[in-house]
Structure 1
């Protein structure tokens, strides 16, 4: 699947907004609200792997805020990844694992 396919699939499931990492949280383009990690839940993730240029690979994270806002965050799977985004996703993954047990 391409990144465009993943975005279309996410939108079909109600994940219409984008989250941008900011100040150890994520801001929604839909509400403008800055959510702290404890206000966010990682619902699902999908990765692209085009096999040719590693710089084209990315992971799309489907995220839901505690107020019902649904959106995606796209993070490159290469040396271009923002450390702040990676930390936020690590926290969301950890929270997901803790809530599953």
Structure 2
């Protein structure tokens, strides 16, 4: 597999969707909620299985991070966060609270040997 999958978040998101990471999530009142489910998640309920960071082409301070996540209820999906000076601090803190033991690169498409 080509190591340089994509230049933009949307390209990575599409590739992960093809691998079954189709759930969408939103953040509300300190919790992550499944868009198509009634599931509510705390940091301990999530596992980050890959992450990708991006810098803006025209403004390096325009950064984002794409988290590929699996939940304790079987949902698999992605969550895109602003990163840097323009980030949502509460959402960033939520993701920073995910236990270190629940963070890996096991689904990272750049490490896929296929």
TM-score above 0.5, yes or no: yes
Report how many residues are paired: 97
Where in structure 1 do 4 or more consecutive aligned residues deviate above 3 Å?
none
- Aligned-pair Cα RMSD in Å: 1.9
Give the TM-score normalised by structure 1: 0.81
Give the TM-score normalised by structure 2: 0.73
Larger Rg: 2
Which secondary structure state, in structure 1, belongs to the residue aligned with residue 13 of structure 2? Answer: helix
Q: Greater helix percent: which structure?
A: 1
Pair 1:55–1:64, CA change in 2 (3 A): same
Q: Deviations over 1:22-67 (max 9, x none)?
A: 2222001121321122211111101222442235431110111111
Q: Which has the higher contact order (CA 8 A, sep 6+)?
A: 2
Which secondary structure state, in structure 2, belongs to the residue aligned with residue 17 of structure 1? Answer: coil
